[in-house]
Amino acid sequence: MLPKATAPTIPPSHVKRAQAAINAGGPWRADQRSVKEPWVGIPIAAALDLNLERAPQRRMVVNLVRDWLKAGWLKLVPGQDAHRKARDYIEVGKVPVDEDIPL
């Protein structure tokens, strides 16, 4: 029987680095399929030195976005795109503290 794979632990310093990258740009779309506006996974991947072209690393970023939304480190914000269509955007939420990790 193979051992169960576990998600890597992301230290608070890496989460904060990703949050700084998100704050430095935007607006960031919640939907990874967005083509007209960038997905929030782009600055997260860049901050964590991950390659979104590789499927396992892209899945990891998708899972991080989901988990960080649950933890409150990211927050979902309703907004409108350039064509005034309702879209979901993501902004930085609370800053993680050591006892928040691992996720």
pLDDT at 88: 96
In a domain, 51, yes or no: yes
In a domain, 19, yes or no: yes
In a domain, 29, yes or no: yes
Domain count, the chain: 1
Residue with the two structure tokens 């960038």: 38
CATH code of the domain containing 62: 1.10.10
In a domain, 30, yes or no: yes
pLDDT at 35: 85
In a domain, 64, yes or no: yes
State the DSSP code for 39. B
pLDDT at 8: 62
Whether pTM > 0.75 for this model: the answer is yes
d(CA 75, CA 24): 16
Its domain, for residue 88, covers 12-96
In a domain, 1, yes or no: no
Tens-place pLDDT, residues 10-46: 888 999 999 999 999 989 999 999 988 999 999 999 9
